[in-house]
Structure 1
Amino acid sequence: MTLTTPRAKAPTDAPTAHLPKAGVARSSALFLVLLIAGAVLAVVAAGRGQLDIPAGEVLGSILHRIGIDAGTMPTHPQGDAALWQVRFPRVAMAMVVGAALAAAGALMQGVFGNPLAEPAVVGVSVGAAFAAAIVIVYQLSFAGEWTIALFAFVGGLVTTLLVYFMSRADGRTEVVTLVLTGIAINAVCSAGLAFMLFIGDTQAREEIVFWQLGSLNGTRWQYVWVAAPIAAVGLLGAVILSRKLDILSLGDRAARHVGVDVERTRLTAIVLVALLTAAGVAFAGIIAFVGLVVPHVVRMIVGPGHRVLVPASALMGAVLLLGADLVARTAMDTADLPIGMITSLVGGPFFFWLLRRTRRTAGGWS
């Protein structure tokens, strides 16, 4: 008697293998809307601040920079300098960090097979925060102005790899073990962070707390040129890995049956998550809910296929964080609000609504 296994056809049954025409149209429409929204919001965000610059003058400055003699240059004497030395670097960093965090969240949810997963699960955020706090408290400066960012980036990577290798047993890792190990490492790093707050002076404490809440204040082009390539590598790797993530959603056994190296795929995905998240956290601090909420929204619109989900999440994350940073800069005339506070204020209620909606329509997540 010969047994047949329907899962052997998993590669052709993966969610993105054959998108229906309606799904293709919906995905294309989403990408178009996000691209337009991102471009419009970037122009608006660049013009808003203590020195308001009209959108037409912002566009004129951009056109002149690329060699097109059209449009109106900023009329204020410091307008053009303010745009290219302060505003545009911050706009670019907001988009880079938002895209990185959202793509990392989509990867995490695909690897763990759990919609509640986010980059913080593997300790990358709190590991980066702990490393940055060490630099702040002990006033380390061997790398100059890059010391905090360098320590935060390395701290996030090391913590993530530590979680992965500590959760391995007999050459394999299980999702539950990864989650529990991540919780343990998070607890240890959080204790270390609390100790840094305890022994630090008032200035160090204020800097650590503000860094934990996330901020893009003080961003310069030098930071963007470091964060952007790292995020681009992570995004490219995530897109390449998307087909295997679709197959992995069928379960480890089914994925192995069709030839997917589950352990290598999982390790690659976790390294990519660490790269993406550390690139964002190192220069912007901890920004909550972007990696958790954005993939949910995109999945509701275009479905679970990662070939669309990952790049669409990156685009939506860029737009979301750009909008959040605009609010953070302009909500109060005399203060630059922490951007992590803005994303939490929006993401918390939205995620609660999402939980209620899922429970009502599908009986919750199993």
Structure 2
Amino acid sequence: MILGGGLVVSITIAVMLGPVQIAPGTVWKIVLSHLPGLNGLIEETWTKGDGHIVWDIRFPRVLLGVVVGGGLAVAGVAIQALIRNSLADPYILGVSSGASVAATLVILFGAFRFFGQYALVFSAFLGSLAAMGMVFVLARVGGRVSTTRLLLSGIAVSMIMSAATNFIVTMAPREEGIRSAMYWMMGSLTGAKWEYLTIPALIVVAGALILLFQYRALNALLMGEDAAVTLGVDIQAFRKFLVIVAALLTGTIVSVSGSIGFVGLMIPHIVRLMVGSDHRRVLPVSLLLGAVFIVWSDVFARLVLAPEELPIGIVTALCGGPFFIWMLRRSNYSFGGGK
């Protein structure tokens, strides 16, 4: 309840702030006036300019931040449970970079056109799935996957995918396309529009609910493979399931916001410190806290150098980098005693 209220307050303040400041009452009057059944019932006391700023520019951007933050946090929960280590997240394991390669091909060259209007989402999903597959193949030695090899393989794949993305960008036919692609690669909510919200929101909500229904298996996985098998979990099938869900969440989010790192690393770890390791609580709290974090990160990105704007990926990296170093300095970042 507290986090839900905090999210509503964060959304309100984020929509209020900007070159043109708008009162909170006006913000919600404008929003409510666009809802079915309320249109015409609310007296219009605001200017057309304010209405355009709130409904067409700021509100969809803030809602996209909610979707992106919640989705990345949920994906981080899934990946950390998958490898039983709190140092893992989609960015560090190269999943975001894999999605970026495919998405950049679509943005700059119109690749994967056979997917139609969903080309960006599907291509990013396939890219993230391919990257995660590469990480697991490289990390498997003697039929076993160690956490250390997995993290190192993720860093290697991330570097390879980032190099491939940079090469694709340099081959772009238009300089304007290069600039927009470079900005997108660092993460941004600038291009938020209402039509971009539906698919990511549905996928994030569906992914979170699916994982929530599997909370017992997720809890069992944290106790180790032997304990999970004893409790009736099909380890191989469940791992494949987690890979697909995490790749779908990450690919979808990268397709609309670019590569935003460290959210899936920080948020689940902070949430476990707050509420423990039971995924019935970890998943919903991570969803809300991740949403709040990205909303405020975007506010900082918009206002700190106004009228210029920072890519949001820089803001999250400034927070996540020191957090990652702090976790590395600790000795108990593995779940269930894994190394």
TM-score computed with the length of structure 1 as normaliser = 0.80
Match of 2:31 among 48, 59, 62: 62
Match of 2:74 among 79, 95, 103: 103
Q: Does 1:321 align with 2:294?
A: yes
Match of 2:94 among 123, 140, 151: 123
Structure 2 letter corresponding to 1:224: L
Q: Does 1:43 align with 2:12?
A: yes
CA distance in 2: counterparts of 1:72 and 1:102, whole angstroms: 39
Cα offset, 1:73, TM superposition: 4.3
CA distance in 1: counterparts of 2:8 and 2:41, whole angstroms: 18
Query: Structure 1, unaligned stretches of length 5 or more?
Result: 1-31
Cα offset, 1:348, TM superposition: 2.5
Q: 1:121 to 1:345 in 2, by over 3 A?
A: closer
Cα offset, 1:179, TM superposition: 4.5
Larger radius of gyration: 1
Q: Which moved more, 1:40-49 or 1:185-194?
A: 185-194
Identify the residue that residue 207 of structure 2 maps to in structure 1.
234
Cα offset, 1:308, TM superposition: 0.8
Identify the residue that residue 258 of structure 2 maps to in structure 1.
285
Cα offset, 1:159, TM superposition: 2.9
Cα offset, 1:197, TM superposition: 3.7
- SS of structure 1 residue aligned to 2:161: helix
CA distance in 1: counterparts of 2:167 and 2:32, whole angstroms: 51
CA distance in 1: counterparts of 2:200 and 2:209, whole angstroms: 14
CA distance in 2: counterparts of 1:348 and 1:181, whole angstroms: 19
Q: Does 1:53 align with 2:22?
A: yes
Structure 2 matches for 1:1-40, cutoff 5 A? 32-40=1-9
Identify the residue that residue 64 of structure 2 maps to in structure 1.
93
Structure 2 letter corresponding to 1:123: G
1:21-43 per-position Cα deviation (integer Å, ceiling 9, x unaligned) = xxxxxxxxxxx221111001111
Cα offset, 1:134, TM superposition: 2.4
Q: Is the 8 A contact 2:187 2:259 kept in 1?
A: yes
Share of identical aligned residues, percent?
Answer: 34
Q: Is the 8 A contact 1:41 1:323 kept in 2?
A: yes
Q: 1:205 to 1:250 in 2, by over 3 A?
A: same
Q: Does 1:247 align with 2:216?
A: no
Structure 2 matches for 1:261-340, cutoff 5 A? 261-340=234-313
Q: 1:345 to 1:75 in 2, by over 3 A?
A: same
Q: Does 1:186 align with 2:161?
A: no
CA distance in 2: counterparts of 1:308 and 1:341, whole angstroms: 29
1:75-134 per-position Cα deviation (integer Å, ceiling 9, x unaligned) = 222212322222221111110110000011111111111110111354321111111232
Q: Is the 8 A contact 1:161 1:271 kept in 2?
A: no
Q: 1:317 to 1:74 in 2, by over 3 A?
A: farther
Q: Is the 8 A contact 1:135 1:148 kept in 2?
A: yes
Match of 2:51 among 63, 71, 80: 80
Query: Structure 2, unaligned stretches of length 5 or more?
Result: none
Measured on the aligned residues, the alpha-carbon RMSD in Å equals 3.1
Q: 1:256 to 1:190 in 2, by over 3 A?
A: same
Q: 1:64 to 1:102 in 2, by over 3 A?
A: same
Q: 1:75 to 1:283 in 2, by over 3 A?
A: same
TM-score computed with the length of structure 2 as normaliser = 0.86
Q: Which moved more, 1:118-127 or 1:346-355?
A: 346-355
1:271-307 per-position Cα deviation (integer Å, ceiling 9, x unaligned) = 1111111111110000111111011111111111111
Q: Is the 8 A contact 1:56 1:71 kept in 2?
A: no
Identify the residue that residue 206 of structure 1 maps to in structure 2.
179
Structure 2 letter corresponding to 1:207: S
CA distance in 1: counterparts of 2:78 and 2:109, whole angstroms: 35
- SS of structure 2 residue aligned to 1:119: coil
Cα offset, 1:169, TM superposition: 8.4
Q: Which moved more, 1:92-101 or 1:249-258?
A: 249-258
- SS of structure 1 residue aligned to 2:256: helix
